[in-house]
Amino acid sequence: MKVKVFDESHEKDLEKAINDFISTENPEIMDIKFSVSIGVFSEEQIYCFSALIVYR
């Protein structure tokens, strides 16, 4: 079993990275964990979209 971690600042970038991984590696996916974090720096909101894929 292996894991792959993705971390992007925009949800569409995360979606593209995961889709690219699936189409090129063709993994047997066991599970996907998804997380969103939000931080505030001054007046700016900073988002972090992450996914962990467990695969064979």
Distance CA 50, CA 34 (A): 6
Domains of the chain and any CATH numbers = 2-55 (3.30.1660)
Count the neighbouring beta carbons within 10 Å of the beta carbon of residue 34.
13
Is the whole-model pTM more than 0.75? yes
Residues sharing a CB contact under 8 Å with residue 29, sequence separation 6 or more, in sequence order = 22, 53, 54, 55
Q: What is the pLDDT of residue 7?
A: 97
Beta strand pairing call for 29-41 and 2-8:
unpaired
pLDDT of residue 27: 97
In tens digits, what is the pLDDT along the chain, a chain of 56 residues?
999 999 999 999 999 999 999 999 999 999 999 999 999 989 999 999 999 999 99
pLDDT for residue 25: 95
